[in-house]
Structure 1
């Protein structure tokens, strides 16, 4: 059941890439993130009232990782295609066990081979149409932040009520992102033009806030109480597959032969890397 929940989460995430790509035409990554988090916060507010202090502390840590990940991803989509963003974001499943090494785990030979295949795949993707250093760098930062999020969530989700943990994350993310947007708007006209710029994307933003953020963070908090980080990561490897499918349907995006081969290599690498995970890659705390 938990595996099915994580597959549903991954499927919904796949739908967000073309929506984020479209919204990035008039909104910045921080603005998109702030709006979706504020929408989600309204939905989750009742669950946060009685959350204990420890839940707020862990929610703040998880919210910080998630915020960096969401904002970096949205920023990267201003410069690269949704297909490319999805495949680069999927590298977070390779990062989980490598970060585990820093926490005392051991790195197995299949992990080393998988990382080589993944790097070769990224090289092919970058070759197709040329890379974008800014967009690719931001998306890799997104992957790193999300790898840390997955690890911390697996370690700490069992300590809390899932609804309260998701609610505190979302409220804090909404607050952080709103302050960020406010600071960016000082001395400019971005805040005054924001309503006009967001109206064309109101429907997708409601979906991003209510379904893809509030709903999926809640399901993720429920499922990862019983699924370790390395096992969850292999399920998340399906995200770029779903994203490419929805980008084809909604945006008519296509991948060239080299880019498609590179993307397939990335997916194969992240799956192979989790078939025989290193012993205790992320030590329980």
Structure 2
């Protein structure tokens, strides 16, 4: 999941570059379509066994993924890359918040502490990133996209718990539906074109393979083995990776408070990943062995 988030952090820089040549829906349709085809070809034996229930779930997740990417990409055109990745990472806060509201049950103590830490870090990152100019339409779109993606994570967790739904097939099918929705919007609201630049094709294929075919499918498969809140907190690493790539490519510089915020996010993720009780048990066992007890 962390590897997938690393690729997603890089994807903001590459997407911003690609959107200089193509419309938002046009760019989405091509990269999502290629991502779907690549994943489907690699897993063709599995995808041929897709049932109606998995198709229906894929249509729902595809719609949520499409809305998330639409908000992110339009937001990316109206605010900085750094702001975009920071605001999208609010997903890490929305997941436990929505879970608490829907299930009327507080998450584990560890999740609460990690979420508070991540929220504080993201707050420092976003407030200093806006630099007193106020929240613009681009920032609002990114926050909305983060909220929709939180719903996506929760819905995916619910779907993969159904024994009749194959997690791998679901992860691939959602890409096909997202590409379909983007293609329809391209013909309705834009003038569809194919990229002419070699650089743009490189960006599209890179995103299709690593960000889409690997990243999006990996998220669904991983969710079969962990909680939605856990996945949401791992996403809090995304602004760190995104900010690093934005600095390297576009020279976007982090302010001291943003660095502090980033450190809080990383520490929160480490906290949630580290099983303290298990670590204590292992240390006790080691001491007993060393003492010969």
Task: Tell me if TM exceeds 0.5.
Answer: yes
Q: Is the 8 A contact 1:58 1:156 kept in 2?
A: yes
Q: Is the 8 A contact 1:77 1:135 kept in 2?
A: yes
Match of 1:21 in 2: 16
CA–CA distance in 2 between the matches of 1:230 and 1:29?
A: 30
Match of 1:206 in 2: 205
Match of 2:21, SS state, is: coil
Deviation at 1:231, TM superposition (A): 1.1
TM-score, with length taken from structure 1? 0.81
Q: 1:137 aligns with which of 135, 140, 146?
A: 140
Q: Is the 8 A contact 1:231 1:274 kept in 2?
A: yes
CA–CA distance in 2 between the matches of 1:61 and 1:181?
A: 20
CA–CA distance in 2 between the matches of 1:248 and 1:123?
A: 18
Deviation at 1:252, TM superposition (A): 2.6
Tell me: CA distance 1:103–1:132, structure 2 relative to 1, closer, same or farther (3 Å).
closer
Deviation at 1:238, TM superposition (A): 0.8
TM-score, with length taken from structure 2? 0.79
Match of 2:234 in 1: 235
Structure 2: gaps (5+ residues): 274-293
After alignment, is 33-42 or 23-32 more displaced? 23-32
Deviation at 1:263, TM superposition (A): 5.3
- What do the CA deviations read for 1:33-92 (whole angstroms, capped 9, x no partner)? 111111112223435433101101111111111111111111111111211111111101
Structure 1 residue 9 and structure 2 residue 9: aligned? no
The equivalences for 1:224-263 within 5 A come to 224-261=223-260
Deviation at 1:152, TM superposition (A): 1.3
CA–CA distance in 2 between the matches of 1:121 and 1:196?
A: 35
Match of 2:22, SS state, is: coil
Deviation at 1:106, TM superposition (A): 3.7
Deviation at 1:270, TM superposition (A): 6.4
Match of 1:44 in 2: 39
What is the RMSD of the two structures over their aligned residues, measured on CA atoms?
A: 2.7
Match of 1:164 in 2: 169
Tell me: CA distance 1:255–1:115, structure 2 relative to 1, closer, same or farther (3 Å).
closer
- What do the CA deviations read for 1:101-121 (whole angstroms, capped 9, x no partner)? 221234587567865664454
The equivalences for 1:1-285 within 5 A come to 6-45=1-40, 46=44, 47-107=46-106, 110=113, 115=119, 118-119=122-123, 121-127=125-131, 130-131=133-134, 133-159=136-162, 160-185=165-190, 190-191=191-192, 194-196=193-195, 200-261=199-260, 267=265, 271=269
Q: Is the 8 A contact 2:171 2:221 kept in 1?
A: no
The structure with more radius of gyration? 2
- What do the CA deviations read for 1:186-207 (whole angstroms, capped 9, x no partner)? xxxx23xx23566541100111
Structure 1: gaps (5+ residues): 1-5, 276-285
Aligned residues: 263
Match of 1:283 in 2: none
- What do the CA deviations read for 1:135-175 (whole angstroms, capped 9, x no partner)? 10111111011111111112222432232112211111111
Match of 1:280 in 2: none
Match of 2:226, SS state, is: coil
